[in-house]
Structure 1
Amino acid sequence: MYPDTLALLKQLVQNACVNDFTPGSGQEVRNADTIEEFFADVDTHVDIRRFEPEPGRVSLVVTVAGTDEAPPLTFLGHTDVVPVDVAQWTTPPFDAVVDDGKIFGRGTVDMLFLTATMAAVTREVARRKARGDKPKGTLQFVALADEEARGGLGAKWIAHNHPSAVNWENCLSETGGSHIIGTGGEDSVIVYVGEKGAAQRRLHVTGDPGHGSAPYAKDHAVVKIAEVARRIAHAQPTITDSEIWRGFVHAFRFDPATEQQVLSGTNYAALGTLAAYGDAVSKLTISPTVLRAGQAINVLPSHAWLELDIRTLPGQTQDDVDAVLIDALGELAEHVTIERLICEDATISPTDSFLYRAIENTLHGLFPDATVLPMIAAGGSDLRFARAQGGTGYGFAAHAKERTLGEMHAQLHSHDEYLHLEDLDLTITAYWELTRAWMY
């Protein structure tokens, strides 16, 4: 499977399905066509459905029907990638250059290497079915558009408009498989069991209008929104005491005093390159990202607003978020209107499911001495739609022990994004071994 998978990955990168959130971007039809062609030799043994909510924004659902002796298994891959700053790249971002055991290009890590792997494993199951070896469960590979813009024209659209088109019961997607190496060399390999939610907010304030030449005794909206931003920046959300957070910190094998400092949120620096990640997964995070006020330089604006990218932990509600904001604003809160924008609760899947145990068995086969460590992702993935449909979903891949969680996070949306070919091979092996044990 490996040479074909690498060739498919190169083509997916070269198709440059860049999603910049603007209408008509993405054009995932190019990758959808490439993937459909990849299945040409088994087209009578797979069912392929195309969904196109807007021109060019194509998702595929590829199904290999099983005998129903085993539960269904579904791979959720996405085919869009984020934009690039070409001037900052030392290799062309869409040439899929292979050099020194790596493939360079936008999307090689996020997440086209997984999408290509999922396609290859699904085709192998279809080929075996063509030879009379029918899978016990139905296998689906879903190549989704628009994941980078939160799935409105991809997984979210399918879940809302054609929910029965996808078997949501047992789903695998991005990304997982990287490692935390403890102070004594102990290896922990990551599986993402959940992800933070979204609680975007727009905070509005008003002030006195007037001519810029006469500011005397005015209630200045700009000054007020600046104070709002300052107070929000000093908000102190509570640190979680969850089993997942404790397990993550324990994987580093710090001395007891340092471990307690990290757990309490007073020494994220001890996490090194994962300090920002640790901060993100230990609490509600609030990032001021957009500030607006005024139009003309000689006019005092009567309205200003601040937009916040807020990410919630599992169990935190939208009302909890507003309570944190109101507390941070203090007496200023009565002068601020809180508007809710995109709101999606955090999602998490159990670690006692049949699929999670299959993942554990697969990873232990590749890394016998490692601990399989459940974690939540600070960002979002299409797995949240599987969980919302009542299914379980896990971020699953396999990287060499040298590839730490910090290193892999650094590749996401970065300049000169690259994947080690060794990790492509390991991930293909992991997906095939899990699928083989599940289906045969």
Structure 2
Amino acid sequence: MGFMTSSHIPSDNPLYHDTLELLIALVQNACVNDFTPGSGQEVRNADTLTEFFADTLGINIQRFEPEPGRVSLVVTVPGTNPQEAEPLTFLAHTDVAPVDKQHWTKPPFEGMIEDGKIYGRGTVDMLFITAAMAVVTREVARKGGNLGTLHFVAVADEEARGGLGAKWLAEHHPDAFSWANCVGETGGSHIHGQDGSDSTIVYVGEKGAAQRRIHVYGDPGHGSAPYGKDLATVKIGEIARRLAAAQPAVTDSDTWRQFVAAFRFDPNTTALVKQGKGYEHLGELAAYGDAISHLTISQTVLRAGQAINVLPSHAWLELDIRTLPGQSQDYVDSVLDDALGTDIEYTIEHLITEDATISPTDHPLYRAISAVFTDFFPDTTVVPTIAAGGSDLRFARQLGGVGYGFAVHNPERTLGEIHRQLHSHDEHLYLEDLESTLAGYLALVAAFLYPSNPEAFRHP
């Protein structure tokens, strides 16, 4: 079908304008999830989406509300021959991260359009995808004839790890939709090689969680007489120093090797970066490269004492630890023990733990996504990678399905630039990327749900 830039999709394309209008409405609903009880109120976006599908025949809509206002929506377009074609699930979320309004130069909840961009919280994470998925789902329902079943799932609470959204559905209503073949955020950004080559990203997995709290104990006493005391604060300081010096082993996984190869470095630099000794060569992706190449340990919370004149007998340090696929919780504890040694007594408490997940690249859905990218960008190389953070796609993988992050950004949008937009001030999306993502989802459903009619959603 060829890559559809804004010049290829006419300005009067009703599907694009429906997508933009829906995106603006979702941004304006301001479903901010700040982790506090009652925040999010995704019911506003659920109601907007319900109204969007109101006159659509041939669909089934389910609403789930585990707590007041925390509504998730499941829209299903049944397939005509589910034995011949696999189901496909668009897994989207409707909540957004908080904003610090004093640092925004654009209104965060208006969906303001300026210079070919739409500004607002959630425009990139991930309401533009949510809107495009909804429009394509409605178009499939209107067209009919889809062999496989299509689900559009718009969940609450993704920003807080899905406890009232995808995680809750997976635990309480796992049969509400198919988890077999899921597409979610975000993917489709680019890495530019030093030789001018282009690579397009598909997220195939994400790091796991291995949160820890390390406790140390010391002598209590009056702050005026510290002599001879075993000080908990000194111990926790040394614990922090040793953890900062820890160097977990760098992976040799296929995803890491392909990520490094996308930069087209000279052989010496390639070897250096693969070993984790030259992250600076990755430029704007240095921090991301570091994150996906090994276990990461971030020291985020430190606590000790209450009154300034009392020596605390207890101190603790909380760690946000992210694991690679295949790294167990026992492995995490062994890394910590090796880093901390045996001369300081400490205990390790496990907090949130969740193993990393990854989907195969030898899979029909991954191949269909890759085909869309190579159709849109004939000279690109499709590169699978993992997300350093989390997404709802992990629940699909945990339930035996696959999950891929897929959108379509124009080649000017690098992976580093898209990362900078996530939870940022003045978050914004290029409108041509909204057009491209819409076209990409149309192409994907045509290939996956209409295998005998791949031209099903060709647009002029």
**TM-score higher than 0.5:** yes
Pick from 18, 38, 46 the counterpart of residue 32 of structure 2.
18
What is the CA–CA distance in structure 2 between the aligned matches of 1:254 and 1:66, rounded to whole Å?
47
What is the CA–CA distance in structure 2 between the aligned matches of 1:294 and 1:70, rounded to whole Å?
61
Amino acid in the other structure paired with 1:27: Q
Residue 253 of structure 1 pairs with residue 274 of structure 2: no
Residue 62 of structure 1 pairs with residue 62 of structure 2: no
What is the CA–CA distance in structure 1 between the aligned matches of 2:21 and 2:429, rounded to whole Å?
14
After TM superposition, the structure 1 = structure 2 runs for residues 96-175 of structure 1, keeping only pairs within 5 Å, are: 96-129=111-144, 134-175=145-186
Residue 193 of structure 1 pairs with residue 204 of structure 2: yes
Amino acid in the other structure paired with 2:79: G
Deviation of the 1:46 alpha carbon:
1.0
Instruction: Tell me what 2:382 maps to.
Output: 372
Greater alpha carbon shift after TM alignment, 294-303 vs 280-289:
294-303
Deviation of the 1:362 alpha carbon:
0.9
After TM superposition, the structure 1 = structure 2 runs for residues 14-413 of structure 1, keeping only pairs within 5 Å, are: 14-42=28-56, 44-67=57-80, 68=82, 69-129=84-144, 134-332=145-343, 335-413=345-423
Deviation of the 1:436 alpha carbon:
1.3
What is the CA–CA distance in structure 2 between the aligned matches of 1:361 and 1:272, rounded to whole Å?
29
What is the CA–CA distance in structure 2 between the aligned matches of 1:366 and 1:56, rounded to whole Å?
40
Deviations 1:356-405 (A, max 9, x none): 11101111110011011111110100000000010011000100011111
Instruction: Give the count of matched residue pairs.
Output: 434
Is residue 186–residue 407 contact of structure 2 (8 Å, CA) maintained in 1? yes
Amino acid in the other structure paired with 1:378: A
Deviation of the 1:332 alpha carbon:
3.8
Instruction: Tell me what 2:10 maps to.
Output: none
Deviation of the 1:315 alpha carbon:
0.5
Is residue 89–residue 179 contact of structure 2 (8 Å, CA) maintained in 1? yes
Amino acid in the other structure paired with 1:82: A
1:75 alignment partner, SS class: strand
Unaligned runs of 5+ in 1: none
Amino acid in the other structure paired with 1:344: E
Instruction: Tell me what 2:458 maps to.
Output: none
**Residues 267, 101 of structure 1: alpha-carbon distance in 2 compared, 3 angstrom cutoff:** same
| Structure 1 runs, 4 residues or longer, greater than 3 Å off | none
Deviations 1:292-327 (A, max 9, x none): 111111111111100000000000000000000000
Amino acid in the other structure paired with 1:228: I
Deviation of the 1:184 alpha carbon:
1.1
Deviation of the 1:424 alpha carbon:
0.4
Deviation of the 1:121 alpha carbon:
0.4
TM-score by length of 1: 0.98
What is the CA–CA distance in structure 2 between the aligned matches of 1:361 and 1:237, rounded to whole Å?
36
Unaligned runs of 5+ in 2: 1-14, 451-460
Amino acid in the other structure paired with 1:402: E
Amino acid in the other structure paired with 2:399: Q
What is the CA–CA distance in structure 1 between the aligned matches of 2:241 and 2:309, rounded to whole Å?
25
What is the CA–CA distance in structure 1 between the aligned matches of 2:135 and 2:237, rounded to whole Å?
53
1:331 alignment partner, SS class: coil
2:432 alignment partner, SS class: helix
Deviations 1:88-147 (A, max 9, x none): 000011111001000000000000000111101001011113xxxx21010000001000
Deviation of the 1:214 alpha carbon:
1.4
Residue 439 of structure 1 pairs with residue 449 of structure 2: yes
Greater alpha carbon shift after TM alignment, 421-430 vs 323-332:
323-332
What is the CA–CA distance in structure 1 between the aligned matches of 2:231 and 2:74, rounded to whole Å?
54
Instruction: Tell me what 2:455 maps to.
Output: none
Amino acid in the other structure paired with 1:100: D
Is residue 191–residue 200 contact of structure 2 (8 Å, CA) maintained in 1? yes
Deviation of the 1:66 alpha carbon:
0.7
Amino acid in the other structure paired with 2:45: N
What is the CA–CA distance in structure 1 between the aligned matches of 2:231 and 2:432, rounded to whole Å?
59
- Percentage identity across aligned positions? 71
What is the CA–CA distance in structure 2 between the aligned matches of 1:149 and 1:388, rounded to whole Å?
18
1:289 alignment partner, SS class: strand
What is the CA–CA distance in structure 2 between the aligned matches of 1:345 and 1:307, rounded to whole Å?
18
TM-score by length of 2: 0.94
Aligned CA-pair RMSD: 0.8
What is the CA–CA distance in structure 2 between the aligned matches of 1:217 and 1:384, rounded to whole Å?
51
2:38 alignment partner, SS class: coil
